[in-house]
Amino acid sequence: MNPSRQSLPSPLFSYRTESATLFGFVSRLLIKNPGSVVTEKDTELVAVKALGVGMEEARRAWEMAWETMAVGCCAFIPALYVLLMCDILDLWWIRILL
């Protein structure tokens, strides 16, 4: 395979990898070693990993919301202009087309 044609992993892939890593860590602590003692350090590590995954997902959602709003505004402004021009010029045939 040509190295220049290889694509980078998608953000969803990295998110799932992080989630799988976090889940694997918790399962190793709790499921495979039921008699083991979970230390405060282990709890902190799980909390930090979960926070990192959650913050990354929140950042992606925020970016998608801004992109959606930008596209919506770009479509809304020309439509508003056309509607205002129809009212100003009283072009009834454009109103029928809309």
Mean model confidence pLDDT for the chain: 66
pLDDT grade for 24, boundaries at 50, 70 and 90? low
Tell me how far CA of residue 21 lies from CA of 9, 32, 35, 55, 84, in angstroms: 16, 15, 22, 16, 55
Domain around 49:
10-97
Count of domains for the chain: 1
Do residues 69 and 20 touch, judged by C-beta distance below 8 A? no
- Residue at 58 is within a domain: yes
- Residue at 4 is within a domain: no
Does residue 63 register a pLDDT over 80? yes
- Residue at 36 is within a domain: yes
- Residue at 42 is within a domain: yes
pLDDT grade for 79, boundaries at 50, 70 and 90? confident
- Look up the pTM and report it: 0.38
Do residues 98 and 82 touch, judged by C-beta distance below 8 A? yes
